[in-house]
Structure 1
Amino acid sequence: MSASESGGKKAPQFSSFKIAPVVEKVDECCCDGGCETPAPVAETPATGSRYSWVVNGMDCAACARKVETAVRQVSGVSQVQVVFATEKLLVDASGDVRLQVENAVASAGYSLRTEDAPPAPAPSRLQENLPLILLIIMMAVSWGLEQFNHPLGNIAFIATTLVGLYPIARQALRLMQTGSWFAIETLMSVAAIGALFIGATAEAAMVLLLFLIGERLEGWAASRARQGVSALMALKPDTAIRLRDGERKTVAQSALRPGDVIEVAAGGRLPADGKLLSPFASFDESALTGESVPVERNAGDNVAAGATSVDRLVQLEVISEPGDSAIDRILRLIEEAEEKRAPIERFIDHFSRIYTPAIMAVALLVAIVPPLFFAAAWLPWIYKGLTMLLIGCPCALVISTPAAITSGLAAAARRGALIKGGAALEQLGRIRHVAFDKTGTLTVGKPRVTAIVTTADIAENDLLALAAAVEQGSSHPLAQAIVQEAQQRQLVLPQATDQRALAGSGIEAEVNGGRVLICAAGKYPAGDDEERIQALESAGQTVVLVSRDSALLGILAMRDTLRDDAREAVAALHQLGVQGVILTGDNPRAAAAIAGELGLDFRAGLLPADKVTAVTALNASAPLAMVGDGINDAPAMKASTIGIAMGSGTDVALETADAALTHNRLTGLAQMISLARATHANIRQNIAIALGLKAIFLVTTLLGITGLWLAVLADTGATVLVTANALRLLRQKA
């Protein structure tokens, strides 16, 4: 069954979905023999050249800022941008600064490779986790020794701290050399060294262990997200069948050029944007437009890369340059959306820029100013300085935010919600609007038979059995809906022979000696039933007609139906003060029907670029979450404050999104937002506890009331209180 049989609607052409291609060049090699391939360069107006690399070793969005800071120190660099989602480093410079940039990034602890260079082999899981495993083992051994022999246990904790501190302190020194003086590595180094200095050896080791665990988990989540974005390219086949001079030849997808003629078999995906040369065909473009059923294309129509030919072998003329197909442009939209959003800085990293140097300076002044300028005794004031350094040790502060985030993420996971990190959890708590994709998000994503109307002397079940017999074996979603409905009613289907698809009309077959035709409304005269058909179509339903030997037998209506919990989910969001809107690539009638049932506004017929525009406008007025399940939703998810994917969605949507509903229950949206708000409040409480206790003991230390042992108790007590407060989130009610 063709798209014309589902109402004759033509999907939007992709000629309007256009982003100017980036023209790249490679400098000619000026040396004799084997010099390395230079980084690709793109011409940029007035500013010289643009260089691009892929950055290896970034674990989080904060890493992107560190790389940018390092590159900005290079002379001649005018602009730097790190796109974390695709690991790209873009540098505008007035001269050739490639070697200097690579050295600067290497000094910061990262490495670069050109985009066309193969990635380095990934280390094994054991190699990746070996430092963390070693530290856990040493921590356990140290704790065991402490139970039986305090001096020996103390030495073991010191050794554990030094082993854990070495890579962190080395990275802190590297970052200092490249301009990042007070990164989180500096904070952790100061915390561990300060704890060792006053003898809190066990605490020093534990802080480093918790830090390394958090960094490892964050790196894993970031890696998974990047894999999802790169999976967009999997929609385009690596090879294509090119027709030239009457010969068929399999060529690489990158070898295709505008004007080439290619052939795509039924069920195959297009390797490039093309203009249809075959008279007629149906294409599944749901990955790009969100259209719930395949659409009809006629000769001369444009078809986007990644679309699937549903029912026949087709020939097309390539119209896109390499790297500028619809899939490439969607990937570019994701990158641009990432660039428009400032990198999310972790609170503790930002605060350390002020907190850590201030505490160190205050402790130093307390230790030396009274003896130098007021003839005070050295030892008492050095003792007070050390006490203040311990009070200022940011152990409780370091744990306060990740402890609450970990508890919040764990509580969300128990409710079937996957939230990718603390930044996403914090953003989720600020949401005031939710934009829903329609197909597969608010609806189940598969059409179902919703009405059977007989117009002749035939029973409903007999009409359905007749239609199912003709459609049996078809891969068209509407045909499968008819067959599935017949199977659910346990109908016995008659034998259909001589099945034949009619281009632009429908499908027909011989059944019990009669010629049965199934076609879209409008392809067959309906007579007195025209008003009934229009009423069904106005309700957002797709209508097909069943006739036998030129006599109309009946009408079948199908529609993608709402999820069972959609109304409850929208009501729960309204109770939280969150408003909703539907953004869909489907036709306005179908969108209006669903929006009317839910009481939501809607915008229909949107391409991926249109969704990005709509989301950007809505996001400007209030923080917005984009909820979707398809590849076409990925750019809009990136452009929103936070993207949320349905668990049944495509891999790209799941990996691009900042959160996912793994159980596919829309009611989980309100639960996620409520939990995120509770987590944000918990973080504020923890910071108040950590800094409040330190402020109190800072005053008592200067007054001579607090000694080292009370300082240790204050720091440990603050850590315990912060952790206990964070654990309350695990008991948060859904």
Structure 2
Amino acid sequence: MTETAENMESIVSSRLLVTGIDCPDCAAKVEKAVRRMLGVVNATFVFPSGSLNVEYDPQQTGVTQVVDKIKKLGYEAREDDQKLSEISQTTDFCIAGMDCPDCAAKLEKRMAKVPGVETAQVNFGASKMTVVHSAPVAEILSTIEKMGYSGKVDEGYRIKNEPASFWKSNQYVKPTAISLIMLISGLVSGKLDAPDLIVNGLFLTGIFLGGFLPAKNGISLLISAREFDMNFLMTIAVIGASALGSFEEAATVVFLFSFGNALQSYTLDKTRNSIRSLMKLTPDEALVRRGATEITLPVKEIVIGDTIIVRPGERIAMDGKVSTGYSTVNQAPITGESIPVEKRPGDEIYAGTVNERGSLEVKVTKLARDNTISRIIHMVEEAQGQRALSQQFVEKFAKYYTPAVIFLAALVAAVPPLALGQPFEKWFYEAMAMLLVACPCALIISTPVSIVSAIGSAAKNGILIKGGMYLEEVGALSVVAFDKTGTLTEGKPKVTDIIPTDGIPDKEFLSIASAIESRSEHPLAEAIVKSAKEHGAEISSISAFEAIPGKGAKATIQGKTYQIGNSRLFTEQAIDVKRVEDKISRLQNEGKTVMMLGDEERILGLIAVADVLRENSGQAINKLKKAGIKKVIMLTGDNESTAHAIATKAGVDDFRADLLPEDKVDAIKKLLVKHGKVAMVGDGVNDAPAMAVSTVGIAMGAAGTDTALETADIALMTDDLTKLADAIKLSRKTLGIIKQNIALALIIKGLILLMVVPGWLTLWLAVAGDMGSSLLVTLNGMRLLRVKHED
């Protein structure tokens, strides 16, 4: 055995769990650094799970050395304990009192250090935390409380408790009210020349009772996670001001701080609950028929295969298929469609939609916890938790901002008194005021509140965006590529032309053709039979049916033999087709498939069938161009003439025909090289490879397609392509608001800090500026909840 082979046999593999990495670029750098270590053969970072798989020679290095290397890079790491993994579970927790993304990041970091916790991911947008753990749930809840928050196990979307009142749900309301009462009492007492002991006592009471909650939370965070937050910085500033005898100003600071937190908590709750409000649309019970018995059951007891009865005007409780009845259904909560959709036996029905006219019987196809609206809410909340590129940049900036301002505050307190002989009290006071500006809350919240609002707004309008990254990317698109079949076209062949050539009326002509085709299962045959029914043509009975593979079919109708098929069927029987060749050529140039109907002697006429363009495809492409898309291209596996006909009608700029799935992938890659940002729009299944390599993969008609919901970056819940332009406009509006928010936060913070130079900064002004900027960016981001989407 060679030395190399011996070395390979001694290679050991280990899996490390790494915490603190929040972007793929950081993960790649860690992977690269570990690979360069002596003795490391290979290192692969799996970003979604936060794990690093390492192969190494134990004679040269070990897990301890790799962990030390990762820690030097600024992250925490530990070896994955397989025994723990075998008994681990995943639990979702609802977190109350978390009103800043920076606080969310600190909670995530602290939770990862709890023994028995493998991974912890905090979703600030949804106010939830997902923990993979073997530790007891009680220990996790205890850690949440030690960090200053309250938590409970998320029991699922079907639990629809009545919302608590504003006074109970918002923890800052009571401290705000108490601090305001004490502040006003102190000010009034001062005006009435009450003794200083009473006046200051009222101010101190307001400071203690109003500031107890933030002080408790800030100190808990410092003890548990060794981190500073706005609560702790405010506590230090208020204690410093009180020590200087500025009781009135300290009480004012406590009130403003508490009031700002109460307002911010209220506005963030409105943002977070915007998408959950959809769940209220689903009834808690439904009328079920089991055998001969009709009984009202809670939805959690209804199983797949049950039949529910939906009366006119009722909301539909379960996903399923219509088994009996005809009605129109308002599907706006799921698809964003403003016009009710006709439903008949075999059509899909979604929970939360409204039955408008007739009575329906629906066979249940999904359990309540798995229905489309529950999955949409789950996916949207996951999407709201994904960090956008701009958010990652802001969070990196904020890591340096806070320590820099604290350092400057220390200089302000020390330099003027020591170097310039200035009064210590004045500059110590200025330093305390600076501490209140050190927390980057407004800056950090500027991006996620906009992303959360935009994704929620899109979902309520039938556009499911899987994360902030895709929301940003769709606004930067320059090219959109469409699949043809089922995307630009309806995906089902339809009869477009009926041309009798022997004086036979259209109905009689269709009656003969559909009678023969009624025995065939070919899609073109189905189109002819459907057209006959739509025209009211009677489908005659036939005998002696014979299918002729690759050519057509023949049958006897009322004692006479008729045949339908392509030109080969007739030319092989020496039947003259020259008199219809011009018509056939014209129809084929339009991208249509032509079939001839005749008897045993002559051609009786032509029927043209085609996959027709969707009604709104042309409108959608026009909207895309108005939205700034430079090029629209169609990719299809159809032949050149069919592709050319559809491309001309749709108004696309270019097309590629005769493409296999791998050819579509190559086409997208070439477009990416030439144009930069390219979207691929398809059905989410057949076009998955091309969608995967594009900048953004967009699936349409995803409401009834599980695969499309899972695979696409953006899913249009209905077949309305015009919503794609709405998504692009929403993205650009979102990016605009994010830029406004970042600029607003930085400008306000900058102006406040500049006031230190002449010594004009006061505690109450610092709090008002800091909390005010947080509220402004939150309210500005919430404007996206009210974005109007064009019909």
Aligned partner of 2:515 in structure 1 is 469
Give the aligned residue type for 2:668. Answer: V
Q: How does 1:36-55 map to 2 (within 5 A)?
A: none
3-state SS of 2:538 partner: coil
Give the aligned residue type for 1:481. Answer: A
Structure 1 position 614 matched with structure 2 position 667: yes
Structure 1 position 711 matched with structure 2 position 766: yes
3-state SS of 2:686 partner: helix
So what's the TM-score if we normalise by structure 1? 0.63
Q: How does 1:142-291 map to 2 (within 5 A)?
A: 142-144=172-174, 146-148=176-178, 159=213, 190-198=229-237, 200=257
3-state SS of 1:678 partner: helix
2:393 pairs with 315, 334, 347, which one?
347
Give the aligned residue type for 1:356. Answer: T
Change (3 A) 1:651 1:344: farther
Change (3 A) 1:212 1:530: same
Q: Could you report, residue by residue, the CA deviation over 1:303-335 in whole angstroms, capped at 9, with x for unpaired residues?
A: xxxxxxxxxxxxxxxxxxxxxxxxxxxxxxxxx
Q: How does 1:658-677 map to 2 (within 5 A)?
A: 658-677=713-732
Greater shift in the superposed pair: 197-206 or 669-678:
197-206
- Bigger radius of gyration: 2
The whole-number CA distance in structure 2 between the counterparts of 1:445 and 1:379 is: 78
In the comparison of the two structures, how many residue pairs are matched? 547
2:688 pairs with 634, 639, 647, which one?
634
Structure 1 position 527 matched with structure 2 position 577: yes
Give the aligned residue type for 1:194. Answer: L
Q: Indicate conservation of the 8 Å contact 2:511/2:532, yes or no.
A: yes
The whole-number CA distance in structure 2 between the counterparts of 1:162 and 1:644 is: 47
Greater shift in the superposed pair: 401-410 or 371-380:
371-380
Aligned partner of 1:571 in structure 2 is 622
Residue 355 of structure 1, CA deviation:
2.8
3-state SS of 1:569 partner: helix
The whole-number CA distance in structure 1 between the counterparts of 2:638 and 2:24 is: 37
Q: Indicate conservation of the 8 Å contact 1:407/1:726, yes or no.
A: yes
Q: Indicate conservation of the 8 Å contact 1:143/1:153, yes or no.
A: no
Aligned partner of 1:722 in structure 2 is 777
Change (3 A) 1:124 1:62: closer
Change (3 A) 1:665 1:133: farther
The higher relative CO (CA closer than 8 Å, separation ≥ 6) is in 1
Q: Indicate conservation of the 8 Å contact 2:672/2:678, yes or no.
A: yes
Q: Percent identity?
A: 35
The whole-number CA distance in structure 2 between the counterparts of 1:462 and 1:678 is: 57
Give the aligned residue type for 1:391. Answer: V
The whole-number CA distance in structure 2 between the counterparts of 1:68 and 1:386 is: 40
Aligned partner of 2:46 in structure 1 is 82
Q: Indicate conservation of the 8 Å contact 1:583/1:602, yes or no.
A: yes
The whole-number CA distance in structure 2 between the counterparts of 1:149 and 1:432 is: 54
Structure 1 position 488 matched with structure 2 position 534: yes
Q: How does 1:199-598 map to 2 (within 5 A)?
A: 200=257, 346-370=392-416, 378-456=424-502, 458-472=504-518, 474-497=520-543, 499-525=545-571, 527-528=577-578, 529-549=580-600, 551-578=602-629, 579-597=631-649, 598=651
Q: Indicate conservation of the 8 Å contact 2:412/2:428, yes or no.
A: yes
Unpaired segments of 5 or more residues in structure 1? 1-42, 174-185, 219-341
Q: Could you report, residue by residue, the CA deviation over 1:39-94 in whole angstroms, capped at 9, with x for unpaired residues?
A: xxxx9xx9x98979899999xx936556556656654265544364xx69675745
Residue 429 of structure 1, CA deviation:
1.9
Give the aligned residue type for 2:672. Answer: N
Residue 712 of structure 1, CA deviation:
0.4
Give the aligned residue type for 1:611. Answer: K
Residue 572 of structure 1, CA deviation:
2.2
Aligned partner of 2:678 in structure 1 is 624
Aligned partner of 1:602 in structure 2 is 655
Aligned partner of 1:236 in structure 2 is none
Change (3 A) 1:410 1:123: closer
Q: Indicate conservation of the 8 Å contact 1:51/1:90, yes or no.
A: no
The whole-number CA distance in structure 2 between the counterparts of 1:69 and 1:88 is: 13
The whole-number CA distance in structure 1 between the counterparts of 2:754 and 2:645 is: 66
3-state SS of 2:615 partner: coil
Q: CA RMSD in A?
A: 4.7
Q: Indicate conservation of the 8 Å contact 2:23/2:392, yes or no.
A: no
Residue 468 of structure 1, CA deviation:
2.1
Change (3 A) 1:51 1:487: farther
Residue 694 of structure 1, CA deviation:
0.9
Give the aligned residue type for 2:713. Answer: D
Residue 205 of structure 1, CA deviation:
8.3
The whole-number CA distance in structure 1 between the counterparts of 2:431 and 2:45 is: 42
Residue 548 of structure 1, CA deviation:
3.7
Q: Indicate conservation of the 8 Å contact 1:192/1:207, yes or no.
A: no
Residue 558 of structure 1, CA deviation:
1.1
Q: Could you report, residue by residue, the CA deviation over 1:513-532 in whole angstroms, capped at 9, with x for unpaired residues?
A: 34444334445426212332
The whole-number CA distance in structure 2 between the counterparts of 1:82 and 1:522 is: 58
3-state SS of 2:446 partner: helix
Q: How does 1:67-146 map to 2 (within 5 A)?
A: 74=34, 75=37, 76=40, 79-82=43-46, 84=48, 91=53, 93-95=55-57, 108=76, 122-123=90-91, 134=151, 140-144=170-174, 146=176
Q: Indicate conservation of the 8 Å contact 1:68/1:82, yes or no.
A: no
Q: Indicate conservation of the 8 Å contact 1:50/1:91, yes or no.
A: no
So what's the TM-score if we normalise by structure 2? 0.59
Give the aligned residue type for 1:585. Answer: G
Give the aligned residue type for 2:663. Answer: D
Residue 695 of structure 1, CA deviation:
0.7
Q: Could you report, residue by residue, the CA deviation over 1:271-310 in whole angstroms, capped at 9, with x for unpaired residues?
A: xxxxxxxxxxxxxxxxxxxxxxxxxxxxxxxxxxxxxxxx
Give the aligned residue type for 1:527. Answer: V
Change (3 A) 1:519 1:367: farther
3-state SS of 1:558 partner: strand
Q: Indicate conservation of the 8 Å contact 1:646/1:654, yes or no.
A: no
3-state SS of 1:346 partner: helix
The whole-number CA distance in structure 1 between the counterparts of 2:215 and 2:655 is: 57
Residue 441 of structure 1, CA deviation:
1.7
Change (3 A) 1:683 1:125: closer
Give the aligned residue type for 1:429. Answer: G
The whole-number CA distance in structure 2 between the counterparts of 1:50 and 1:605 is: 49
Q: Indicate conservation of the 8 Å contact 1:207/1:395, yes or no.
A: no
The whole-number CA distance in structure 2 between the counterparts of 1:725 and 1:345 is: 16
Give the aligned residue type for 1:692. Answer: I
Q: Could you report, residue by residue, the CA deviation over 1:16-50 in whole angstroms, capped at 9, with x for unpaired residues?
A: xxxxxxxxxxxxxxxxxxxxxxxxxxx9xx9x989
The whole-number CA distance in structure 1 between the counterparts of 2:754 and 2:635 is: 56
Change (3 A) 1:437 1:492: same
Q: Could you report, residue by residue, the CA deviation over 1:117-163 in whole angstroms, capped at 9, with x for unpaired residues?
A: 99966546879668787389885244235435776997687557866
Structure 1 position 644 matched with structure 2 position 608: no
The whole-number CA distance in structure 1 between the counterparts of 2:399 and 2:612 is: 53
Residue 414 of structure 1, CA deviation:
5.0
Q: Indicate conservation of the 8 Å contact 1:633/1:653, yes or no.
A: no
The whole-number CA distance in structure 2 between the counterparts of 1:497 and 1:689 is: 80
Give the aligned residue type for 1:62. Answer: D
3-state SS of 1:493 partner: coil
Residue 499 of structure 1, CA deviation:
4.5
The whole-number CA distance in structure 2 between the counterparts of 1:193 and 1:690 is: 21
